[in-house]
Structure 1
């Protein structure tokens, strides 16, 4: 590529935005938001606010279970750090373990459950961001990445489900009936 072609190509990019900074986090850093969602603890490592809405990255520690079948209009990537997940994707089931990643395309029906005896720990990246705000609405604020959620009473479960269902469309999500 000639210098004139490289110069022409670089002028097509917007200028650097110095108001945005590099984000460096450790999952144990003070000030991160830790949320109890179901049986898991979700730590928001990088929020949409920090990425200009481009993506969010959440550290998920889930000892058992998983969400019901659902779909949403954003891409979701899971990178497994520990344990194993069984991921239902459309009509397929995938077992994903440490070191493996899986991308769930936008709008595709899916769900997961922990398939290992030990808790699963994985990174979840959502593109674009926004899912972390949904989790903040339905989650219980916890003191640390490893703190387990309080076992909810039936009343709290009903309240969280009501919040979840009332806000699903706002966050471009749909919950599906369990597969038979």
Structure 2
């Protein structure tokens, strides 16, 4: 007769307080943020992952993308639709739908949609926090395809000031324009 014994697990116990998260960009529970002309749908928050990561559905119109920056966390993009230029440490690489890009922590980077067509990509940041930063710096919109608010020069300057002021709290540094 064979006896089966199991050794004690070295894994922590399951946390029954954490729930399964199922979401889509069209869900009423998802926040949509317009930031610098892009629309970011916060699919999974740090609150839902015990701070481990966040997942953001990014819709980037032609000409869109953030300024040059760096941050002390990993950032990974999977291009779902379109083609986008990633600038990493000053070098440009065009990335098409189906590809994934990982940006190491602290590396200077940004992306720009120079394709003339809309781009859609998923962005995962680990650990979480970027979704909070975006929420504080951007403007809430109704849905993933909502038009960004029309901001005057004073409102744009106010948003930039907020982003620069809050950046250190979110392990982010805005960098001088690289001209790319």
Q: Deviations over 1:72-121 (max 9, x none)?
A: 00100000011111000013211111010000000000011002221110
Residue 171 (structure 2) pairs with residue 136 (structure 1): no
Classify the secondary structure of the residue corresponding to 1:54: coil
The correspondence of residues 1-180 of structure 1 with structure 2, limited to 5 A, is 7-8=7-8, 11-63=9-61, 64-180=63-179
The answer (yes or no) to whether the contact 1:40–1:148 under 8 Å persists in 2 is: no
Q: Where in structure 2 are there 5+ consecutive unaligned residues? A: none
- Equivalent residue pairs, number: 175
Q: Separation in 2 of the partners of 1:173 and 1:23?
A: 27
Q: What's the TM-score, normalizing by structure 1? A: 0.93
Q: Separation in 2 of the partners of 1:141 and 1:91?
A: 32
> RMSD over aligned Cα, in angstroms?
1.3
Instruction: Give 4+ residue runs of structure 1 displaced > 3 Å after superposition.
Output: none
Q: Separation in 2 of the partners of 1:120 and 1:148?
A: 15
Q: CA deviation at 1:151?
A: 2.5
Q: Where in structure 1 are there 5+ consecutive unaligned residues? A: none
Q: Separation in 2 of the partners of 1:157 and 1:84?
A: 27
Classify the secondary structure of the residue corresponding to 2:47: coil
